[in-house]
Amino acid sequence: YNQVSLNPGCCIGLLQATPHNVTIKIFSVLKVCFCLCAFSQFRRDGKDLDRVAAWAEQYPNAFPLWVGKIYSSLVVTHPEYAKAIYGRSDPKTPIGYNFLIPWIGKGLLILSGETWFQHRRLITPAFHYDVLKAYIKLISDSTNVMLDKWETPCKEKRSLELFEHVSLMALDSIMKCAFSYKSNCQTDKDNPYIRAVYDLSYLVHRRMRSIVYRSSLLFHLSPDGFRFRKACRIAHQHTDKVIAQRKKLLKNEEEMEKVKQKRHPDFLDILLCAKDEKGRGLSDEDLRAEVDTFMFEGHDTTMSGISWILYCLAKHPEHQKRCREEIQELLGKRDSMEWEDLNKIPYTTMCIKEGLRLYPPVPIVSRELSKPITFYDGRSLPAGTITTLNMYCIHRNSSVWKEPEVFDPLRFSPENSNRHSHAHVPFAAGPRNCIGQNFAINEMKVAVALTVNRFELSPDLANPPLPLSQLILRSKNGIHVYLKKAS
């Protein structure tokens, strides 16, 4: 398997317009016809993911993607291939993920090997059933603050952009749940931390897509590099402030006992008190890395999921209506969700899962193979190969999903549960799956339920969203909907 050269003198970066067929020798024995895609075809016009999905339809297991003669990756689009990779503990790909380190440090998202395992074991108690149970009311409160703000555009019958509002709500929720911190970010319009997180996400993805910016020096000297460092300072100051306030509160074990009597321990409490079998806790550097990682993954990805799910319901009023009827019957005159409610909204849950299928919050995950791998069909890859697991394509693979572009929540009904174990992986899978996926699903259930309980959503047909993979799944032009009071 040769990652760069196919034929003598072949300059892959010159490929234009359409994919080309090439034959790749894998271990000089097996010949496989793949799709060779010129990276220059990506135009950031909201159709790049659909272009990749079209190649995936032509080559439904995997295909290589080159960036000039510098970087190549095998794009995996079939659940059986994904299962083989997810079942291992290969490290994240250095290219791209390393660009995150100045921002979120070396937390769970970046770490690998024994250090990753130690951090994962220390942090896992923060997502225990008893801890998550206490968060539902807090998420309900944050959601209702957002919905109260929506009363104005509803009355004025003007379009509303979802990402902006849901991002603030998700940040508000995670600050309350994970750090017992009331930020007032939803009512503070020009929140510098939100702006910083958005800028950092945009700039990291911009750097990943630029050959020039792969040079740390050139990126550092560029206007984007200056903007990135400024945003990092804002994000780190925010994190340091939250940690310092909590450390001051938890000076000793007696203070921790007092806190337990007043409220449930939160994510930060557990991080500060976590100890391994040798009595060692997280260092200050590790602590900030895990806090920044959770702040990024815990609010940005959830924001994406909720926004796209609401868009799906706006596009499909028949399913939205059925969700509303289910929720109104459950809540009655209540305007908040409780822990016991989460398992009593089966149809809404199916809609959430279907929304995550069509629009996975993290559409792409990369791994660098630490040892050779052989797939179910006998095809093999050597150690050092970079693989890109494309959830957007796996979730649309027509060999697994009938009419994959159709929004059909009944795919997730009990009678239709007999599908491939890795056909639906919005939170990844295997040992490196998303540690906070239960927190995320709970927040999605609360936010979606309370939203459709209060409002009817319809799409702004003049401004359809243009999906864009930017670390998380965003839209180039946002997601715009109209609101009407629910009857």
Tokens 């599908």 locate to 419
Q: Give the burial class of 414: count Cβ atoms within 10 A of its Cβ; 0-12 exposed, 13-18 middle, 19 or more buried.
A: exposed
d(CA 155, CA 332): 24
Tokens 């995997």 locate to 62
**pLDDT surpasses 50 at 30:** no
Structural domain for 445, as ranges? 12-485
**pLDDT surpasses 60 at 195:** yes
- Residues belonging to the binding site for heme are 434
Higher-pLDDT residue of 441, 187: 441
Q: Residues 173-188: what's their mean pLDDT?
A: 85
73-82, 196-205, 410-419: which range is least confident on average? 196-205
**pLDDT surpasses 60 at 396:** yes
Band (pLDDT 50/70/90 cuts) for residue 116 is very high
Average pLDDT, the chain: 86
Q: Would you state the pLDDT for residue 69?
A: 58
Q: Residues 248-271: what's their mean pLDDT?
A: 72
- Residues belonging to the binding site are 434
Q: Is residue 122 part of a domain?
A: yes
Q: Is residue 7 part of a domain?
A: no
Higher-pLDDT residue of 106, 40: 106
**pLDDT surpasses 50 at 443:** yes
Q: With both helix axes pointing from N to C terminus, report the angle between 284-315 and 162-179 in degrees, rounded to the nearest 10.
A: 140
Q: Is residue 246 part of a domain?
A: yes
Q: Residues 379-384: what's their mean pLDDT?
A: 93
- CATH number of the domain residue 383 falls in: 1.10.630.10
Q: Is residue 123 part of a domain?
A: yes
Backbone angles phi, psi at 238, to 5 degrees: -60, -50
Q: Residues 315-320: what's their mean pLDDT?
A: 98
pLDDT tens per residue, range 131-142: 899 999 999 999
Q: Is residue 3 part of a domain?
A: no
Q: Is residue 6 part of a domain?
A: no
Band (pLDDT 50/70/90 cuts) for residue 403 is very high
Q: Would you state the pLDDT for residue 304?
A: 96
**pLDDT surpasses 90 at 12:** no
Report which of 348, 356, 358 is spatially closest to residue 321, judged by C-alpha positions.
348
**pLDDT surpasses 80 at 407:** yes
Q: Residues 290-309: what's their mean pLDDT?
A: 92
d(CA 201, CA 219): 15
Q: Is residue 4 part of a domain?
A: no
Q: Is residue 446 part of a domain?
A: yes
**pLDDT surpasses 80 at 123:** yes
- Based on the structure, what is the number of domains in the chain? 1
Q: Residues 168-195: what's their mean pLDDT?
A: 84
Structure tokens at 97: 């993920």
Strand order in the sheet with 20-26: 20-26, 30-38, 62-67, 71-76, 386-390, 364-368
